[in-house]
Structure formats: structure tokens, C-alpha cells
Amino acid sequence: MHSTRRHFMGQSAAAASALAFPLVGGAQPATIKIGVLHPVTGALAYSGQQCRLGALMALEDINKAGGIKSLGGAKLEALLGDAQSNPQAGTAEIEKMNEAGVSAVVGAFASAICLATTQAAAKYNLPHVVDVGVADQIVERGLKNTFRFGPGYKKCAEVAVANLHVLNTAAGKPARTVMIVHEESLFGTGTANLLSRELPGYGYDVKEVIKHANPTRDFNNIALRIKQVNPDILIPANYYNEYALLVRTLQQQKVTPKAIFSVLGGAASSYKFVKEFPDAANGIIDCNHWFNPKDKRSAELRKRVEAQGQFFSYEVFMSYTAMKLLADAIDRAKSTDRAAIIEALGKSTFSDHIMPYGPTQFVNGQNMGAQPLMTQVSKGDIKVIIPRDYREAEPVFPMKA
């Protein structure tokens, strides 16, 4: 984190010195201001800071590679904002960024904050690239300025259910009963609702849906219930802390379902979790945001992030690619005018990225190519198992016969 800050300062200095040299063509600005808005304090501080890390690394890379070529190599300059883990602060920051003359905003991680910030930005026709925010309402309100590169939770739930069926069928249908454990707020409840609706259609029996608070101090009760219901498959959908505590408790209570199959599982595809609890994590399957493992640049980016002492979590690469998407659009717009950038984003076919989305195609602000990947923890590492195009390891399903 610290070196990012120093590096960013270095970039700013370079950008400032570029001001001394007028560009050919005259009317272009020497730096292009981009708002980088995340909840870096408050309850979501960890995720917000990881997002900011990804965004700033992308900015650094773009500038190092020569900036925005169609604007004479103009560099991107980040205007950092703190959404303080609530929509009010996020909105206030959008106002500030707007007045500081940003050409676009990347942010704001949490769905509730994104709902407010995209709307505030829409008043000024300010392009807003949503880096994570999985609630589908964000892109369903007809706001022309909002673009989400990654998938929403509806897509994640659909992919998860379909792939669960594929895995189960390929293994001879050993699993039929399912239990869902989800956190009580927007993403957990929304995901659980979708799963409960879709699963029976594929022939699965949803025996129980358990909702828990954030934070939950103790999972022994839930572990007991899981032991009692004894589902074939356990589907958790919650944030990192609760996911980790749940899985550790299951390990301690020796509760072993045939498979732990997460959908947007907070710790299920987290290098941090795998490193700290390799035994508990082993075999867990997740349907979550993931990078393209076949693209060498992913591994390089991962190494760089880890060299800074941070984990290569989904917030980092989601934000990184969101920034890259934006830079590509600015380049094609050949202008820092907001309306031009929005138009360029809308027509974007950006494909030079490390996500498994293929060429970009936005419909009503949602990238149609966006998809989550299925990963599984094996031998202390996280490997992609589905779809086949990105497969790194054969899926092991079920974990226990």
C-alpha cells in the first residue's frame, strides 16, 4: 500500500511536469482527472482499500505505457475519494469530484453506495464505471452514465446453479439436498432468494435457508443445524469474516457436507483465507469474480500485488480492469468530454483485459460478456474448474462420497 502511495505521488509529479509542455493540437489537457471513489474507512475499509489499490495500479500502468495515446500521451490523474462506507459520504465526494473537473469516476465497491453515487453522477452526465457492486438494480434504472464491467448477482446465481448441476450430473448425481447459509443484507439475501427459486427447477431439494447477522459472533449453532439437516451441499453466501468463521467452525465440529459450494462466497476464493486456513479451505468451490488464469498478465499482476504485501483479492483485479476499461474508452473517444466518454463506453468492445469476459458489449450499462468463474481450492491454491476454456484443474466433486 505504501509503495503505491509513493508511486502515485511520483506519477503526479511526472504529470505535473507534463503541464509545462503544451501538447500538439493545443486544446488537450495535460492530465485527465479520474475520480477514484471507495469506502476506505468504516466497516468496508478492507475492500475499499483493496479496490483503491487495484485502481491506482491500473492508473500507474496506463501512464507508464504512454498514457492516452489519442490525446497525445496525456496521463491519468487520480482524485481520491473516501465514501466512508455510507451513501451520504459517497454522494458528497461525487459532488466534489464533479466540481474538481473529473472526466469520469471509478467506484464505489458496495452496492448501496453505488446506487447513490451513480445517481449523483448522472445529474452531471458524469461517466461512472462500477467496479464491483453486484446488485442488479444499479444497472436497471436506466441511468445513461452507469457502466458495470463485471457481473451482477443474478448472473452469478444463474451460473452457479447451472454449473452445480453440471458437476453433479457428471459425478453421477450424488447430491440432491442443499442448505443455504447467507448474510442478512442486500447481496446475501438477494443471492439466497435467487438460488432458492432456481435450484428446485434443476431437481434440488433446498432443505433449509439460514440467514445470519453481520457480524455473527459464533457459528456453533449454525454448525449444529448443518450437522442435523445433513445436506449434501452447503451453499454459503456471506462476507469474508463470517465465511471464514463458519468454515473454521465446521472444521472444528467435524461437519463435512459432500461439498461446500459457495456463490459469491466471502472467503471461498480468497488467497488470504487459503493461506491462513489451508485445511478448512481445501476443496471449497466458489462461483465468484475471477481473472482469466490463461492470461499471463494475471500472474504478473498477482506477483506485483503480493510483492506489496497485499493479497490478490477480487477487489483488486475488478477495480484494475474497470480502470483499464475506462482508459480504453477515453482513448477511443479522443476527448475528455464526458458525453463523448459515455458514448465511447457504450460502444466499447474492449477485449485487451485479464478478465474472462471476452470482448466487451454494454447493454443498458451492463457488460453482457461478464461472467463469474467457478474455482476450487486444491493443494493450497485456487484453481479454475469451470468453464472448460479457463480450466486449470479437474473439479473434485463431491469432496466426500
Q: Rule CB under 8 A: which of 259-318 touch another protein? A: 272, 276-277, 311
Q: Cβ–Cβ contacts within 10 Å for residue 288, how many? A: 22
Question: Quick one: 42 or 174, whose CB is closer to another protein?
Answer: 42
What CA–CA distance (Å, rounded) separates 232 from 237? 17
Q: H helices of 213-254, where?
A: 220-229, 240-252
For the chain, state the CA radius of gyration: 21
Q: Which of 6, 7, 106 is nearest to 324 (CA)?
A: 106
Binding span for another protein by CB under 8 A among 167-175, 204-212, 327-335, 355-363: 204-212
Q: Is 174 in the site for another protein (CB under 8 A)?
A: no
Helix or strand holding residue 90 (H, E):
helix 87-99
The secondary structure of residue 77, as a DSSP letter, is: E
Q: Is 115 in the site for another protein (CB under 8 A)?
A: yes
Q: Is 116 in the site for another protein (CB under 8 A)?
A: yes
Q: Rule CB under 8 A: which of 42-61 touch another protein? A: 42-43, 45-46, 48-49
C-alpha cell at 153: 448477482
User: Total binding residues for another protein by CB under 8 A?
Assistant: 72
Is the Cβ–Cβ distance between 254 and 225 less than 8 Å? no
Q: Is 188 in the site for another protein (CB under 8 A)?
A: yes
Q: Is 256 in the site for another protein (CB under 8 A)?
A: no
Question: Quick one: 185 or 361, whose CB is closer to another protein?
Answer: 185
Question: Quick one: 8 or 147, whose CB is closer to another protein?
Answer: 8
Q: Rule CB under 8 A: which of 122-161 touch another protein? A: 123-124, 137, 141-143
Q: Which of 322, 327, 344 is nearest to 74 (CA)?
A: 327
Is the Cβ–Cβ distance between 58 and 324 less than 8 Å? yes
Q: Is the dihedral of CA 134, 135, 141, 145 positive or negative?
A: negative
Question: Quick one: 71 or 280, whose CB is closer to another protein?
Answer: 280
What CA–CA distance (Å, rounded) separates 47 from 5? 17
Q: Is 207 in the site for another protein (CB under 8 A)?
A: no
Question: Quick one: 79 or 166, whose CB is closer to another protein?
Answer: 79
Shortest distance, position 85 Cβ to another protein, whole Å? 9
Interface with another protein (CB under 8 A), residue from 20, 24, 25, 99: 99
Binding span for another protein by CB under 8 A among 61-69, 220-228, 321-329, 389-397: 220-228
Q: Is 5 in the site for another protein (CB under 8 A)?
A: yes
Q: Rule CB under 8 A: which of 326-385 touch another protein? A: none
What CA–CA distance (Å, rounded) separates 287 from 151? 11
